[in-house]
C-alpha cells in the first residue's frame, strides 16, 4: 500500500500535506500498518478537500486513487481497517487526545477538527441556553410600524428583525436576492430607535475582504433614509480575521475564549464562507451579552477551509434547541417566480436533473443556455466566439482612458468561472487562452507584466495596503504621471491607485474560480465545466456559480456531466446535531 500511496502522490492525486502526514505516522509508530498509514493519508486529504472527517464505512472495499498505470487499488475491508486502527497508539477516542480520533460510528478525524467541532457545538449550545433580551414588545411594534408602514410588507424580514434584537443568536438564511442585507439594516434601525446599543459597539464582518466591502456598500446603499446620517452610517465592515485580531504568521488570535471582542452586536455576512476554525473562534470570542447575527445562504458553496459550518448549523437549527434561532427568507427580490435562472438554481439544489434539462431545452428563453465542448480546441473557439469581444472592448476602453467607474461597470457585465485551477477548462488554462487571443488581436503586449485594462485578482491579504484575497482591480494609466497603476474600489465608492510594484501576490482575472466569485454579481456568467470528473465539483458549487448571474447564465461542458453534478454534494460528515442533542 505504501507503494500505491507514493504512486498516487507522484501522479498528483494526493496533496503534499496528505502524503507527508501519512509518512509522519509511519515514523511515529515504527510498526505502523499500511491500514493506519492509508487512513491517516486519506483523512488528511479529506481536510484539504474541505471535509472534517473520513467515513471508513463508505471508503472500505472501494476503489481509491482510480487507475494508475493500469493498476487499481482497493481500500481494506472495514474489519481489517478497524482492527489496525484500534491497535495503534496513534488512534483513540477524543478524550485520549491522540493524533487520530476514531468515533463509534467508524468516522476517523484528525484531532484538531474533532476538537473544533466539539468546542463549536458547546458554544452554540451555551448561546441557545442564554436568556432572551427583555424588550418591551409594544416599543418594538411602534418602531416597526415606522420601518414597515404596512403590516404585510416584508413579513419575513420583520420577523427576523424582531428575533435578532431579542435573541443572543439569530441565523438568517436565504438565496441571493431575498433581502438578507436589507434585514441587517432593519435590525440596526431597531437597535438605534430603541437605544439598545451605541454604534461603536457594533461590528459588521464577513470571512473575506471582498465580502466585507460588499456588506458595507450594501448597508450604505439602503440605510441612509432609515438610519440617517452620523455615526450609524460610518460603521465599518471588517474581515473575520481582523475582527478576531488574527496575528500574522501565527495560528493565534488576539481575541478568543481567553479575551472577548469589545462588541455588543456582531453581524456576519456570507457566513457560509466561514471555515470551522474561524466560526469556532468567533463563537468563543463573544461576550454573553453580545447579539450574534449570522447571514448566509445554506445552499451555497462552503469555505475553502475544512467544514460546511453554516449549512450544518442551519440543518441543526430545524430542531430544538436551535429552531427558535433560525429565520429562512424565501421571497426573492432578484428572481421572479418566472425567472429561469431562479428555477434553474432551485432545480440544481433539489437534484432535479429533469427540470435542468427541460430549462436548457426551452429555446423560448435566453436566461440559461448550454454549449457543448469536447476538446481544448473547441473550448478556444467558444471563448473567441462568445466572450472575446467583451474582453477586447474593455481593453479599448482602458486605452481610451475610461474612468474607474466605467471600467468596473464593464467588469460587472461578464465573467468566466472555472471549477478548478488546472486542466482543460481550468482557470489557469482559460486565462492563458484569453491572453493569447487578445495578443493575436494586437490589443496587449507580449512581454510586459502590466497593460491598460488588465484585470487583477489579489490572492493574499495585505493589511498595510488594505487589500484582501479576492479583491479585484484594473490596470489604468495615471492621468497625472502617465504611469500604469492598478485601481481598486473603496467601500465609500471612491477609488485608490496602487503602484504595480507594491501589489501583493495576484493573478490575471479574465477567469476566476467559483470559490473566488462568492459575494460577487455579474450580469452574464459563463460556467466552464471540466471535461473530466473533479473532486471539487458539486451541486453546491454549481448553484453558487449560477447565482452569481443577474441576467444570463451560460454553461459549457457536456450535458451528462452536468446532470451527474446535480447528484453530487460536498456535504460534510460533522456531528453538531448529535452534540447539541446530547
Domain ranges of the chain: 1-110, 136-334, 340-567
Under DSSP, is residue 177 helix (H, G, I), strand (E, B) or coil?
Answer: coil
Q: 145: buried, middle or exposed (CB in 10 Å: 19+, 13-18, 0-12)?
A: exposed
Under DSSP, is residue 409 helix (H, G, I), strand (E, B) or coil?
Answer: helix
pLDDT of residue 303: 67
**Cβ distance 393 to 503 under 8 Å?**
no
The answer to whether the Cα torsion of 553, 558, 559, 560 is positive or negative is negative
CATH code, 1-110: 1.10.10.1020
Q: How large is the greatest C-alpha to C-alpha distance in the chain, in angstroms?
A: 73
Q: Which CATH number among 3.30.70.890, 3.40.50.1860, 3.40.47.10, 3.40.50.300 corresponds to the domain 136-334?
A: 3.40.50.300
**Cβ distance 409 to 390 under 8 Å?**
no
Residue 326: strand pairing partners? 171
Q: Do 136-334 and 340-567 agree at the fold level? A: yes
Cα distance between residue 185 and residue 190, in whole Å: 9
C-alpha torsion angle, residues 554, 558, 559, 563 (rounded to 10): -100
Cα distance between residue 522 and residue 512, in whole Å: 12
Q: pLDDT tens per residue, the chain (582 residues)?
A: 677 788 778 777 788 899 999 999 999 998 899 999 999 999 998 888 778 899 999 889 888 876 556 667 888 999 999 999 999 999 999 999 999 999 999 999 999 999 999 999 899 989 988 988 888 888 888 877 777 665 555 677 778 888 888 899 999 988 877 778 778 888 888 888 888 888 889 999 988 777 787 787 777 765 555 655 556 666 778 888 888 887 666 667 788 888 999 999 999 998 888 888 889 999 999 999 999 999 988 877 776 667 788 888 888 877 777 888 888 887 776 777 778 888 888 888 888 888 888 888 888 888 899 999 988 899 999 999 999 999 999 999 998 888 888 998 898 899 999 988 878 888 898 999 999 999 998 888 887 889 999 999 888 878 778 777 778 899 998 877 778 999 988 755 678 889 999 999 998 889 998 888 877 889 999 999 888 766 677 888 888 899 889 899 999 988 777 777 776 555 454 555 566 555
Please tell me the chain's helix, strand, coil percentages from 3-state DSSP, rounded to the nearest 5: 45, 20, 40
DSSP 288: T
Cα distance between residue 462 and residue 456, in whole Å: 15
Architecture of 340-567 per CATH? 3-Layer(aba) Sandwich (3.40)
Cα distance between residue 420 and residue 464, in whole Å: 30
Helical (H) or strand (E) element with 309? helix 309-316
pLDDT of residue 454: 92
Q: Give the pTM.
A: 0.80
- Enter the C-alpha cell of residue 290: 453580545
pLDDT of residue 112: 93
Amino acid at each position: 500500500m505504501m507503494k500505491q500511496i507514493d504512486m498516487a502522490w507522484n501522479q498528483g492525486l494526493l496533496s503534499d500535506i496528505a502524503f507527508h502526514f501519512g509518512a509522519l505516522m509511519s515514523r511515529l509508530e515504527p510498526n505502523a500498518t499500511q491500514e493506519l498509514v492509508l487512513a491517516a493519508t486519506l483523512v488528511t486529504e479529506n481536510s484539504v478537500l474541505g471535509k472534517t472527517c473520513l467515513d471508513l464505512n463508505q471508503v472500505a472495499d472501494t476503489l481509491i486513487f482510480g487507475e494508475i498505470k493500469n493498476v487499481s487499488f482497493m481500500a481494506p475491508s472495514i474489519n481489517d481497517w478497524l482492527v489496525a486502527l484500534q491497535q495503534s497508539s496513534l488512534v483513540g477516542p477524543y478524550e485520549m487526545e491522540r493524533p487520530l480520533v476514531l468515533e463509534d460510528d467508524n468516522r476517523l478525524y484528525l484531532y484538531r477538527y474533532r476538537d473544533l467541532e466539539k468546542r463549536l457545538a458547546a458554544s452554540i449550545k451555551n448561546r441557545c441556553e442564554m436568556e432572551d433580551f427583555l424588550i418591551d414588545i409594544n416599543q418594538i411594534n411602534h418602531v416597526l410600524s415606522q420601518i414597515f408602514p404596512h403590516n404585510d410588507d416584508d413579513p419575513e424580514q420583520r420577523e427576523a428583525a424582531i428575533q435578532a434584537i431579542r435573541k443572543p443568536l439569530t441565523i438568517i438564511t436565504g438565496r441571493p436576492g431575498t433581502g438578507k442585507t436589507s434585514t441587517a439594516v432593519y435590525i440596526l434601525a431597531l437597535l438605534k430607535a430603541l437605544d439598545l446599543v451605541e454604534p461603536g459597539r457594533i461590528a459588521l464582518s464577513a470571512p473575506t475582504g471582498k465580502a466585507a466591502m460588499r456588506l458595507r456598500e450594501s448597508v450604505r446603499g439602503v440605510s441612509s433614509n432609515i438610519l440617517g446620517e452620523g455615526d450609524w452610517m460610518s460603521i465599518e465592515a471588517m474581515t473575520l480575521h481582523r475582527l478576531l485580531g488574527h496575528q500574522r504568521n501565527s495560528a493565534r488570535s488576539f481575541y478568543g475564549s481567553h479575551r472577548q471582542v469589545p462588541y455588543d452586536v456582531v453581524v456576519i455576512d456570507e457566513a457560509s464562507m466561514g471555515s470551522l476554525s474561524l466560526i469556532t473562534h468567533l463563537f468563543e470570542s463573544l461576550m454573553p451579552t453580545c447579539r450574534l447575527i449570522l447571514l448566509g445562504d445554506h445552499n451555497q458553496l462552503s469555505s475553502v477551509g475544512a467544514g460546511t459550518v453554516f449549512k450544518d448549523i442551519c440543518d441543526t437549527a430545524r430542531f430544538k434547541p436551535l429552531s427558535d434561532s433560525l429565520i429562512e427568507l424565501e421571497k426573492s427580490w432578484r428572481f421572479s417566480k418566472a425567472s429561469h435562472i431562479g428555477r434553474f438554481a432551485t432545480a440544481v439544489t433539489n437534484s432535479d436533473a429533469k427540470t435542468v434539462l427541460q430549462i436548457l431545452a426551452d429555446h423560448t428563453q435566453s436566461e440559461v443556455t448550454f454549449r457543448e465542448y469536447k476538446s481544448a480546441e473547441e473550448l478556444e473557439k467558444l471563448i473567441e466566439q462568445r466572450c472575446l469581444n467583451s474582453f477586447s472592448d474593455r481593453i479599448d476602453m482602458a486605452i481610451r482612458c475610461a474612468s474607474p467607474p466605467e471600467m468596473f461597470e464593464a467588469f460587472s457585465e461578464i465573467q468566466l468561472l472555472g471549477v478548478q485551477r488546472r486542466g482543460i477548462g481550468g482557470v489557469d488554462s482559460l486565462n492563458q487562452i484569453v491572453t493569447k487571443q487578445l495578443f493575436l488581436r494586437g490589443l496587449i503586449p507580449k512581454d510586459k507584466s502590466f497593460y491598460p485594462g488588465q484585470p487583477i485578482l489579489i490572492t493574499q491579504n495585505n493589511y498595510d495596503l488594505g487589500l484582501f484575497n479576492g479583491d479585484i482591480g484594473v490596470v489604468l494609466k495615471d492621468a497625472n504621471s502617465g504611469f500604469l497603476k492598478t485601481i481598486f474600489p473603496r467601500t465609500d465608492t471612491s477609488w485608490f491607485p496602487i503602484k504595480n510594484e507594491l501589489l501583493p501576490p495576484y493573478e490575471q482575472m479574465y477567469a476566476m474560480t467559483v470559490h473566488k466569485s462568492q459575494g460577487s454579481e455579474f450580469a452574464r456568467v459563463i460556467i466552464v465545466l471540466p471535461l473530466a470528473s473533479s473532486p471539487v465539483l458539486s451541486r453546491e458549487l454549481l448553484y453558487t456559480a449560477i447565482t452569481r448571474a443577474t441576467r444570463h447564465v451560460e454553461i459549457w461542458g457536456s450535458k451528462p456531466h452536468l446532470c451527474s453534478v446535480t447528484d453530487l454534494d460536498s456535504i460534510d460528515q460533522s456531528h453538531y446535531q448529535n452534540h447539541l442533542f446530547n
